[in-house]
Structure 1
Amino acid sequence: MKQDGSIDLFHYWNRLRNGRAAPKRTEVEPADIKGLLADTFILERDTRGEAVFRLAGTRLCATYGRELKGFSFPSLWRDKDQRLVARLAHGVFHAKSVVVVNFDGLSSNERANPFELLLLPLDGGTESPRALGIVSPCQKPFWLGADPIVDAMIDAVRVIDPDREPMFLKNRPSVTVPSLAPSDQALSDSIKMLGARRIRHLVVLKGGLED
Structure 2
Amino acid sequence: MSLTFDPYAPRSTDLSQAQDVIMTNPTVLNELEHYWSSLPRTRGVPLRKDVDPVAMGALLEDSFILERVAPGVARIRVAGRNIAKLVGIEPRGLPLTAVLLPDARAAMVYYIEAAFNGPSIVELPLEAPRAVGQPQLQGKIMLLPLRDDHGRVSRVLGVLVMSGRRGIGGRRFKICDRSAVRVEHIEEPIDGLHVVAGSKATTVSHSLRVTETQKAQSKLALRLVVSNA
The TM-score normalised by the length of structure 2 is 0.62
Query: Shift of residue 47 of structure 1?
Result: 4.9
Look up the match of 1:37.
Answer: 60
What's the CA shift for 1:45?
1.4
CA distance in 2, matches of 1:19, 1:72: 26
Q: Residue 110 of structure 1 aligns to a residue in which SS?
A: coil
User: Structure 2: which 5+ runs fail to align?
Assistant: 3-25, 188-229
Cα distance in structure 1, aligned partners of 2:80 and 2:86: 10
**Which residue does the alignment assign to 2:137?**
113
How has the CA–CA distance of structure 1 residues 108 and 43 changed in structure 2, closer, same or farther, with 3 Å as cutoff?
Answer: farther
Q: Which residue of 1 aligns with 2:48?
A: 25
Task: Please give the secondary structure, in 2, of the residue aligned with 1:129.
Answer: strand
**TM-aligned CA distance change 1:149 to 1:101, over 3 Å:** farther
Q: CA deviation at 1:97?
A: 0.6
Q: Which runs of 5+ in 1 are unaligned?
A: 164-211
The structure with the largest strand share of the pair is 2
1:159–1:18 Cα change, 3 Å: same
**Does structure 1 residue 7 correspond to structure 2 residue 7?**
no
Counterpart residue number, 2:120: 97
Q: Work out the CA distance in 2 between the residues paired with 1:58 and 1:67.
A: 9
- Please point out which of 136, 143, 154 is paired with 1:129: 154
Contact 1:108–1:149 under 8 Å retained in 2: no
* Aligned-partner SS, 1:114: strand
Q: Which amino acid aligns with 2:155?
A: R
Q: Given residue 54 of structure 1, which amino acid in structure 2 is its aligned partner? A: R
Residue-by-residue CA offset, 1:80-129 (whole Å, 9 max, x unaligned): 22111111111212221101111102477332110111110001146670
When Rg is computed on C-alpha atoms for both structures, the one with the higher figure is: 1
57-66 vs 124-133, which deviates more?
A: 124-133
Question: How many pairs align?
Answer: 159
Which of 136, 154, 176 in structure 1 is aligned with 2:175?
A: 154
- Taking a change above 3 Å as real, the CA distance of residues 122 and 85 of structure 1, as seen in their structure-2 partners, is same
- Structure with more helix by fraction: 1
User: Aligned residue for 2:74?
Assistant: 51
Structure 1 vs Structure 2 CA RMSD? 2.4
Q: Does 1:78 align with 2:98?
A: no
Is the contact made by 1:108 and 1:148 (CA closer than 8 Å) also made in structure 2? no
Letter of the structure 2 residue corresponding to residue 159 of structure 1: V
Match for residue 63 of structure 1 among 81, 86, 102? 86
Distance 2:56 2:132 in 1: 31
DSSP-derived class of the 1:52 partner: strand
Q: Is the 8 A contact 2:119 2:185 kept in 1?
A: no
- Given that 1:105 and 1:149 are in contact with CA atoms closer than 8 Å, whether structure 2 keeps it comes out as no
> Cα distance, 1:18 vs. partner?
4.7
SS at match of 1:109: coil
Return the TM-score normalized by structure 1. Answer: 0.67
Q: Deviations over 1:147-166 (max 9, x none)?
A: 34432121142112467xxx
> CA 1:89/1:48 → structure 2, altered by over 3 Å: closer, same or farther?
closer
